[in-house]
Structure 1
């Protein structure tokens, strides 16, 4: 943490900028776009309230969610293996912030405190795990890319191999941690959302 403190601060600020940008995007939506989103959300809330989501195989939902997390982590890992791909890691951090900011901003703007409550139970819990994991993975990818640059000048293949396995091990461990978020999204989130969804039905 100490050796990469500046990187942690950088990716955290980048993520927060994405959150703010996503929230601002809500105000840029046209009336037709807001109405279309409202219709889709109302249909979603209706399915949650009817218990349709609970009728779906939760194991399938868990596998799909975990698969998405694994792909996201694999992409960050791959981008960290080359200096050229490093800027795309920062783009992913920014986009993650935009997604979170837009989701929470729209729910809050459209449904006031009820939307905030829904965001707290449907968005916040898993993201308390997902966001730190993605930021840590991004710092690890950045650190390894910088190590690649140094190794080209210092010609230390042994140190590079050790760093590669440390980087890969960190990525695998973080992916395992993401399974906790996938478990919540797959098995617990539908029940929590069912409790809140009736408040948001129009």
Structure 2
């Protein structure tokens, strides 16, 4: 028998399934667009990118950037930035288009990164992506998509209330629930940052050999 909490989650997803689907499609379109950018890049642009990438890999080989705590802090700060952006945009009545653009850009960035490694290194690049980027993103990407959808729904509801003809009394409960959701999402981002900083950072020099 489902608890009240489980029933509320099921009801929420069923009610807002189109919103979740829209955000997922927007993200996928961003992935495809990012991969298309790789294909359309000029040879000189790819060579410039390879130059900076090889510099980064040389620093990995020399153990110059593998301070695990620094990697953890950097990853956590990046995730926290995205969550704060979605949180604030959800509290704004003009946040909807910016939420959509942010998700699209995030998808484009990931699509470009994956596409470049696969295009440049083939199957070895795919293995590198799977080992060095995929683990934390299995947590981070669903968190971003969920956060963007929740923010979009909340912003839409706020806009609907403010544009209604009847006066609607402001209540703290929806806002508090909204904030609690983001606190929970931050916990997942903390886990992803730990994976990225300590687990990935630990075996990254070994994974690096995949694209030699």
The TM-score, its normalising length taken from structure 2, stands at 0.88
| 1:22 has 2:27 as partner | no
Aligned partner of 1:163 among 138, 160, 174: 174
Alignment of 1:79-158 (within 5 A): 79-152=89-162, 153=164, 154-158=166-170
Q: Whole-Å Cα distance in 1 between the matches of residues 167 and 38 of structure 2?
A: 50
Aligned partner of 1:2 among 14, 19, 24: 14
In the TM superposition, structure 1's runs of 4+ consecutive aligned residues that sit over 6 Å from their partners are none
Contact 2:136 2:192 (8 Å CA) reproduced: yes
Gaps of at least 5 residues in structure 2 are 1-12
Question: 1:42 offset after TM fit, Å?
Answer: 1.6
Q: Whole-Å Cα distance in 2 between the matches of residues 4 and 128 of structure 1?
A: 23
Residue of structure 1 in register with 2:192 after alignment: 181
Aligned residues: 198
| 1:190 has 2:201 as partner | yes
Contact 2:128 2:210 (8 Å CA) reproduced: no
Gaps of at least 5 residues in structure 1 are none
Question: What do you get for the CA RMSD once the two structures are aligned?
Answer: 1.4
Contact 1:108 1:116 (8 Å CA) reproduced: yes
Q: Whole-Å Cα distance in 1 between the matches of residues 159 and 49 of structure 2?
A: 46
The TM-score, its normalising length taken from structure 1, stands at 0.92
